[in-house]
Homo-oligomer: A and B are copies of this chain.
Amino acid sequence: MNNDQLIRITRYYRSLNRLKTIGLEKVFAHNLADAAGVSAAIVRKDFSQLGIHGQKRGGYEIHDLLVSLGEILGKGDSQNCIIIGCGRIGKALMHYNGFEPDGIRIVAGFDSDPLVYSDASHPVPIYPISRIDEVVEALQVTAGIITVPEQAASDSYERLLKAGVMGILNFSPITLKPQATEDGRMPVVHNINIALELEQIFYELKFPKVK
């Protein structure tokens, strides 16, 4: 499966959940395409490639789709996540309640500052970064979110990999690159650079696409 397709599938999944809560039971490729911001042809092609079949003229059963896509996306597996760097952004993410519907759980935070990790007034326990290995093992952590300052990003990244956390969501302005670990595993890294996003927006405003 390619990357763009994966993005689309997570979008479909999300949109389908919305449609379901509204009370719909069936959906047409065209509707889903609108909701996910793609063309209807691509929706059909995606499903076709994934072995998902609808009913001619009847569209697709939302429930079936959610099950199929859910399996593909690995719903039901443990999706435990830790936060490295409990500054403002890290704490904000800890309190964020948009993860649960997707089965993602923030199970712990880490910080280098004793004042932070000895403070118990957080939704999840915060540990000193030195304890990362044991916590990762004990809580079956599979992904980590990096919300540390720029200069600490590489170190956090290495510690995560060393602790066996192969999924990384990086909010620091450094672009972290996936590199195979000693045991040959390849981490999955997504970099979100907020300043960069804004820059792109300003550019696109300045030079609108004429299309």
Residue of B nearest to A167 (CB): B201
Contact of A169 among B35, B72, B169, B201 (CB under 8 A): B201
Contact status A93-B194, CB under 8 Å = yes
Total copies of this chain within the assembly: 2
Question: Given A88-B95, A91-B88, A173-B14, A7 and B200 touching (CB < 8 A)?
Answer: yes
Q: Is A190 an interface residue (CB 8 A)?
A: yes
Q: Mark A193-207, 1 if CB is under 8 A from B, else 0.
A: 111111111111111
How many positions in chain A have a CB within 8 Å of any CB in the partner chain? Answer: 62
State the A residues within 8 Å of B (CB): 1, 6-7, 10-11, 13-15, 35-37, 72-74, 77, 79, 81, 87-89, 91-93, 95-96, 98-99, 101-102, 104, 142-143, 145, 150, 166-169, 173, 175, 177, 186, 188, 190, 192-209
Cross-chain pairs A/B with CB under 8 angstroms, 29 sampled: A1-B207, A6-B200, A10-B199, A10-B200, A11-B196, A13-B199, A14-B193, A14-B196, A37-B177, A72-B203, A73-B199, A73-B203, A74-B206, A77-B206, A88-B88, A88-B91, A88-B95, A92-B92, A98-B173, A98-B194, A102-B198, A104-B199, A143-B201, A167-B201, A169-B197, A188-B204, A190-B197, A192-B192, A192-B194
